[in-house]
Amino acid sequence: MRQRIFVLTLLACAFIPLQAEVPSLVAIQDARIVTVSGAVIEKGTVVLKDGIIADVGPSAAVPAGAWVVDGKGLTVYPGLIDAFSTWGLPEAPVQVSAAGGRGAQASATPGQTAPPRSRGPEDRPGTNSWVMAADLVKNTERRVTLAHGGGFTTAVTFPRQGLVGGHGAVVNLGGETSGAMIVEPDAGLYMSTTPSGYLGYPNSLMGVLAYFRQLWIDANYYKMAKEMYAKSPQTIPRPAYDRALEGVLSTKRVLLPAAGPVQMERMVKLGKELQTSVVLWGVTEGYRMADELKKSGTPVVLNVKWPTRERDRDPDLIDTMKVLEHRDKAPTAPIVLAKAGVKFAVSSDGLDAPKDILKALKKSIDMGLPKEAAIRALTLSAAEIYGVDQRMGSIDKGKMANLVVVKGDLFDERLTIAMIFVDGVKYLPPPDPPQTPGGNAGGNRPSTVDQEEN
Amino acid sequence: MRSRGLLGIILAASVYAGANDTMLIRNATVHPVSGPKQENVSVLVVDGKIAEVGAKIATKGKIKIVEGKGLHVYPGMIDSGSPVGMSEISSVRETTDTGELGDFNPQLRALIAVNPESEHIPVVRANGITSVMVLPGSMGGRGGGGGSIISGQVSMIHLDGWTWEEMEIKRDAALQLVWPAIASRGRGATDDDLPPALAARRMTFAQAKRNQEEEVRKLKEFVEAARRYQKAKAGKEPGLKPDLKFEAMLPVLDGKRPIMVLASREREIREAVDWAERERLKIVLANVREPGKMTEELARKKIPVILGSPFTTPIDDDAAYDEPFTLAALLNKAGVKIAFASFGTQFARNLPYEAGQSVAFGLPYDEALKSVTLNAAEIWGVADQYGSIEPGKWADLVVTDGDLLEVKTNVKMMFIKGAPVDLESKHTKLYKKYLARP
């Protein structure tokens, strides 16, 4: 008996080494607190208990037995959220049938290498609507800890293969198990309008949009058939289970791409047709669309990888005015959107290091973006877009204990993160990755260099 | 019967043999190109050659009279580069003879592949073009494969004849060379504009540059090998195996035959000019579109330039809309000798308007007229026989009801080596057919 207790204790220790380090009761005392939801508390205390913010305020009491962090010189922010990410997902593309398919039986069978070319909407091309990021996220994935280096505690991460990539999930970047990381298993359905490129139908934007319409028509018909069958299974034939349509029906919102005003208008219209709420991703020409976005009430996730001159390019090629204008104005998108009152969050899409998101926003701040707006985009706005603002996005009593504690300011030239808390668990930022010339840590993307450096 | 016999006797009695290529064009406005226009003069053509131009020409006996009142006489125009006769429908491989494989094919002759039955020939002719420099190869767009560096011998032909032998003016007028260009990526386009499958295939600049340097190296080696062959041949080296490729290079190496180098932009032009100077080769640049800072140097080095159609948009998005229209004037002002080419089949007929458009944008009129006649003849080494209306030259003549470079002008008659040429073409046939539609 005694021996058994000993074994159990050992097991418990083995499973929760992180919590063994830090008690479940933490108080950060005398720190500057940027609550986001309210005014900045110049000197106050945050109390974390069992992964939840138990108290916050200038005069919040430090409970007995708490692990106290001296907050002098430190600023506490809500944990940052990458609102359109792939962090936590395996970096190699998820193996799903490229042709998509109807029903569970259509999944890629082992040994079958080249999927047949799709010839029409009936083949459900590039449709992986049943794929759930929540099922694929791994707590051991490389970028989960790397993200801490940029102050990120949360990512809204999407499987992105095909035209309908699958359901994204709101994921906390750290957890005992992979499952423990999931905050919200359905953040929305990732969609792309870029055809695969000569791999079958659809091979044009026209075809893609027609396909989306058909997919939704099929899904609504399927829903109706199922409802009728449920009422009278004795008289109506049973409709075949279709995982692609189940995936479409179960989504709360769709994430549609829009670079500029034309795509934006098109996607907002599509969202109305499909009778689903829309979040636009990309929005690289956000500086040109503020009024229209405000009018349509569509939230956006900005790609903050500002365009730069390619390092490897023909020295005799002169950039066109159009390219130069875009390069010049792209970083003003957050300013313009904030001024117009458009709800926007930001994404790591295309950036190599998590810190680069902050650097990109710093550029916008230098051009006139209020710092509060930048922080809101990184926190509460993202939480609101995905409907998790009751649980995260600001430093308020009762919210998840996701915090980033910084020496000085989040947008300081050299960001120094003291610690971060994910679900109340303390993590130290990983050491900076060695700087490779060209900063091409992200794989085979073309290396870039800032315009000013040339 | 009797009268016909009588006619025969009269003709026999005249000095002129009564052949098809002897005539007097009377009372016309003549544009000799080599000199100022002359109004109300006549042109005497004897045995296909221009015998005399003047107000009063004394003919010896009976001669065919062509009434030229109210009409203009010009020398036939020369298109300085076109695949007419080599390519019927470019997208149908079987009708296209310009696609030989291999990097170096100087031994290929465009002339022998010319199809005299091409539907394009009468269409081009109908607008006053009597001669064409026929290109053996495609227009370039090299980099990563396709097309040759040296595509073969450009031949000058007449746009009339039953066989290619009859059409020949100069079978090896120039050597066609496409200067290798660095083909990394298109201007303006970004990877976002392409499907992922295509974007992945794009070359980096470094890679494209390496490829281009490799092609230039191959070209240098080929010329080097040709020189060794030339030396061995001159030295009557025993056991020297005749090689058609190197044989075809000999007149080029001697500087007797020009190389038509297709190079559009400043960088390629500079490389080609430097190369030609080092190798002591005679070059003519063709399809020049953005000579940039090389303009003055071309003038100084007396390198002629063949321009393609100005009816195109500028290469750079931000360039002035009229950049292609003003290019001819710019080169002419700098002192560069220019000629026009169509570099195509279906629009070769627009050659006079290429020059005409350039006049509207600053090219002096006389120079424009030369650029489609005498300049071309000079550049390709046939000015002793073609290009202007002067005694002793072949009577390649175009008779019009107005300015040759003007769109509204109609070509009324055409003569090649003094013989009248049919101006019917597929266009006129279709015009008549549909005009008569009930």
Give per-residue pLDDT as tens, A18-53: 444 556 899 999 999 999 999 999 999 999 999 999
Distance from CA of A381 to the nearest CA of B (A): 28
B384-412: average pLDDT: 97
CB contact under 8 A, A317 and B187: yes
- Clarify whether residues A343 and A411 are in a common domain: no
Secondary structure class of B142 (helix, strand, coil): coil
CA distances, A342 to each of A36, A287, A298, A337, B309 (Å): 17, 11, 8, 5, 50
pLDDT of residue A9 exceeding 60? no
Which of B184, B207, B264 would you mutate first to test chain A, the one with the most A CBs within 10 A? B184
Q: Report chain B residues whose CB lies below 8 A from the CB of A321.
A: 317-318
pLDDT of residue B112: 95
Q: Report chain B residues whose CB lies below 8 A from the CB of A318.
A: 316, 318
pLDDT of residue B141: 46
Beta-carbon contacts of residue A261 (< 8 Å; ≥ 6 apart):
A285, A288, A289, A292
pLDDT of residue A317: 83
Distance from CA of B261 to the nearest CA of A (A): 21
Range 173-192 of B in CB contact (< 8 A) with A: 182, 184-185, 187-188, 191-192
pLDDT of residue B327 exceeding 80? yes
CB contact under 8 A, A316 and B266: yes
Q: Report chain B residues whose CB lies below 8 A from the CB of A98.
A: none
Chain A within 8 Å of B205 (Cβ-Cβ)? yes
Percentage of chain A lying above the pLDDT 70 cut: 84
- Clarify whether residues A59 and A201 are in a common domain: no
Nearest 10 degrees: Cα torsion B426, B429, B434, B435: 140
Chain A within 8 Å of B296 (Cβ-Cβ)? no
Distance from CA of A113 to the nearest CA of B (A): 18
- Clarify whether residues A173 and A49 are in a common domain: no
Q: Report chain A residues whose CB lies below 8 A from the CB of B182.
A: 314
Q: Report chain B residues whose CB lies below 8 A from the CB of A198.
A: 195, 197
Beta-carbon contacts of residue A318 (< 8 Å; ≥ 6 apart):
B316, B318
Q: Residue A149 phi/psi, 5° resolution?
A: -65, -20
- Clarify whether residues A143 and A14 are in a common domain: no
Q: Could you say which of A195, A259, A320 has the minimum Cβ distance to residue B317?
A: A320
Specify if A30 maps to a domain: yes
Provide the number of CB pairs (under 8 Å) joining chain A to chain B.
43
Instruction: Provide the b/e sequence for B363-391 (b: ≥16 CB within 10 Å).
Output: beeebbbbbbbbbbbbbbebbeebbbbbe
| Confidence category of residue A365, pLDDT binned at 50, 70, 90 | very high
Q: Report chain B residues whose CB lies below 8 A from the CB of A204.
A: none
Helices (H), B28-143: 120-125
Distance from CA of B250 to the nearest CA of A (A): 36
Secondary structure class of B119 (helix, strand, coil): coil
Which of A201, A205, A316 would you mutate first to test chain B, the one with the most B CBs within 10 A? A316
Q: H or E stretch including B41?
A: strand B38-46
What is the spatial distance between Cα B388 and Cα B370, in angstroms, rounded to a whole number? Answer: 9
CB contact under 8 A, B196 and A194: yes
pLDDT mean across residues, chain A: 86
pLDDT of residue A454 exceeding 80? no
CB contact under 8 A, B318 and A321: yes
Beta-carbon contacts of residue A390 (< 8 Å; ≥ 6 apart):
A399
pLDDT of residue A102: 45
Cβ(A15)–Cβ(A7) below 8 Å: no
Domain range for residue A404?
1-79+393-431
Q: What is the CATH number of the domain that holds A27?
A: 2.30.40.10
Q: Could you say which of B185, B191, B195 has the minimum Cβ distance to residue A195?
A: B195
A80-85 and A152-157: which strand pairing? parallel
Secondary structure class of A229 (helix, strand, coil): helix
Domain range B77-386, CATH architecture: Alpha-Beta Barrel (3.20)
- Clarify whether residues A10 and A120 are in a common domain: no
pLDDT of residue B204: 82
- Clarify whether residues A133 and A28 are in a common domain: no
CB contact under 8 A, A198 and B188: no
Q: Report chain B residues whose CB lies below 8 A from the CB of A323.
A: 188
Select from B375, B310, B382 the least CA-distant residue to B337.
Answer: B375
CB contact under 8 A, A446 and B184: no
What is the spatial distance between Cα A416 and Cα A404, in angstroms, rounded to a whole number? Answer: 11
pLDDT tens, A234-272? 999 999 999 999 999 999 999 999 999 999 999 999 999
- Clarify whether residues A425 and A372 are in a common domain: no
What is the spatial distance between Cα B135 and Cα B124, in angstroms, rounded to a whole number? Answer: 16
Q: Report chain A residues whose CB lies below 8 A from the CB of B266.
A: 316
Chain A within 8 Å of B263 (Cβ-Cβ)? no
More confident site: B98 or A398: A398
Specify if A449 maps to a domain: no
The residue in chain B having the minimum alpha-carbon distance to the alpha carbon of residue A194 is B195
Could you tell me the pTM of the whole model?
0.81
- Clarify whether residues A135 and A75 are in a common domain: no
Strand segments (E) across A34-94: 41-49, 52-57, 67-70, 74-78, 80-85
pLDDT of residue B188: 39
B325-353: average pLDDT: 96
Q: From 3.50.4.10, 1.20.1250.40, 2.30.40.10, 3.40.50.300, which CATH number describes the B17-76+387-438 domain?
A: 2.30.40.10
CB contact under 8 A, A197 and B184: no
Distance from CA of A264 to the nearest CA of B (A): 16
pLDDT tens, A103-114? 434 444 444 455
Distance from CA of A413 to the nearest CA of B (A): 31
Distance from CA of B426 to the nearest CA of A (A): 38
- Clarify whether residues A227 and A358 are in a common domain: yes
CB contact under 8 A, B205 and A198: no
pLDDT of residue A22: 54
Select from A156, A148, A151, A141 the least CA-distant residue to A88.
Answer: A141
A152-157 and A164-172: which strand pairing? antiparallel
CB contact under 8 A, A320 and B267: no
Number of folded domains that form chain A: 2
Domain boundaries, chain B: 17-76+387-438, 77-386
CB contact under 8 A, A199 and B197: yes
Select from B81, B95, B183 the least CA-distant residue to B124.
Answer: B81
Specify if A445 maps to a domain: no
- Clarify whether residues A19 and A164 are in a common domain: no
Specify if A43 maps to a domain: yes
Q: How many CA atoms lie within 13 A of B420 on its CB side?
A: 15
Tokens of A253: 């919102």
Chain A within 8 Å of B316 (Cβ-Cβ)? yes
Q: Report chain B residues whose CB lies below 8 A from the CB of A449.
A: none
Q: Report chain B residues whose CB lies below 8 A from the CB of A202.
A: none
CB contact under 8 A, B187 and A320: yes
Cα three-residue angle A293-A297-A299, rounded to 5 degrees: 75
Q: Could you say which of B198, B206, B317 has the minimum Cβ distance to residue A322?
A: B317
- Clarify whether residues A410 and A370 are in a common domain: no
More confident site: A251 or B99: A251
Specify if A91 maps to a domain: yes
Specify if A450 maps to a domain: no
pLDDT tens, A172-221? 999 999 999 999 999 999 999 988 766 788 988 999 999 999 999 999 99
Distance from CA of B321 to the nearest CA of A (A): 14
Tokens of B312: 């195109």
φ/ψ bin of B393: left (φ > 0), alpha (ψ from -120 to 50), beta (otherwise): beta
CA B173 vs. chain centroid, Å, equals 10
pLDDT of residue A201: 86
Lowest mean pLDDT, pick from A153-162, B137-146, B299-308:
B137-146
pLDDT of residue A434: 61
CA distances, B24 to each of B27, B49, B66, B237, B395 (Å): 10, 12, 6, 57, 11
Q: Report chain A residues whose CB lies below 8 A from the CB of B316.
A: 318, 320
Specify if A441 maps to a domain: no
Chain A within 8 Å of B54 (Cβ-Cβ)? no
Query: Percent helix, strand, coil in chain A (nearest 5)?
Result: 35, 25, 45
B62-66: average pLDDT: 92
Q: Could you say which of B197, B206, B316 has the minimum Cβ distance to residue A312?
A: B206
User: Amino acid identity of B9?
Assistant: I
Cβ(B289)–Cβ(B308) below 8 Å: yes
What is the spatial distance between Cα A335 and Cα A337, in angstroms, rounded to a whole number? Answer: 6
- Clarify whether residues A22 and A110 are in a common domain: no
A119 CB-contact burial (10 Å; exposed 0-12 / middle 13-18 / buried 19+): exposed
